Amino acid sequence: MLKKTAAFFSVLILAFLLQSVGSAQTPQSATAPQPEKRKPIVSKWTTLDGMRYYYAGVKVADDDSLKNLISPLKDPEANRLLDVSSGSHTAGVVFLVGGTACLIGGLSMAGGNYDSNSQSFNSTGTAGLVVALVGLVGDYVGVFKLEESMTSKFAAVQRYNALVRGEDEAVTSWNLPKAGIQTDLLTFKF
């Protein structure tokens, strides 16, 4: 019985060693492999479609494809800009949908409570106008957030292109003044 157990463990150890030796890779060359040469992303503006991005002559389909192109560089600034773009886009859509719903609901509430004899709104009609005004403000905020999203996406593409071309130090800042009213106005965010 002891011989069978010793033989079993010997076979197990031998199989483990053979598997370890078989899976070991021998270096094929002394030089490290060269990274893939990345191409810049081309930006084109069209009146109907807005800003479009092309990589190696092929249109980048959506934001996820753009993120898949930019994120392998592992640049924290470009990734942050893409995250800002994604978050601003989501917030912009939410504000637009909510604002439009409030605008339509408020106007229909105000229209239903208009007294044509006295040519005035009752209290419900006035509340409807306030709701419509809130909806209009929500729509404006939504449009601004969508614009911020597009601007951040464009900045991420410009950052990517600068890194691909080897100009990483040139795009670390927007060369804005350090303090003052101009800086506050240029960096204003909702």
What is the per-residue pLDDT across 35-82, written as a single tens digit (0 to 9) for each?
467 888 888 888 887 888 998 888 888 888 888 888 888 888 988 999
Work out how many domains the chain is built from and give that number: 1
What are the structure tokens assigned to 168, written together?
């990483």
The reply to whether 79 falls in a domain is yes
pLDDT at 34: 41
The reply to whether 41 falls in a domain is no
CA distances from 151 to 15, 18, 144, 182 (A): 59, 57, 10, 18
pLDDT at 138: 95
What is the per-residue pLDDT across 72-116, written as a single tens digit (0 to 9) for each?
888 889 889 999 999 999 999 999 999 999 999 999 988 888 777
What angle separates helix 123-165 from helix 63-70, to the nearest 10 degrees? Answer: 30
The reply to whether 7 falls in a domain is no
The reply to whether 78 falls in a domain is yes
Residues of the domain holding 142: 74-167
Q: Which of 190, 108, 105, 183 is nearest to 143 (CA)?
A: 190
Q: Rounded mean pLDDT of the chain?
A: 76
d(CA 19, CA 13): 10
**What does DSSP say about strands 58-59 and 120-121: parallel, antiparallel, or unpaired?**
unpaired
The reply to whether 113 falls in a domain is yes
The reply to whether 118 falls in a domain is yes
Q: String of b and e for 38-72 (b: at least 16 CB within 10 Å)?
A: bebbeeeeeeeeeeebebeeeebeeeeebbebbee
Backbone angles phi, psi at 142, to 5 degrees: -60, -40
Percent composition of the chain: helix, strand, coil (DSSP 3-state, to 5): 65, 10, 30
pLDDT at 121: 73
The reply to whether 48 falls in a domain is no
pLDDT at 1: 52
Q: Which of 75, 127, 134 is nearest to 102 (CA)?
A: 134
pLDDT, average across residues 123-142: 91
pTM of the model: 0.64
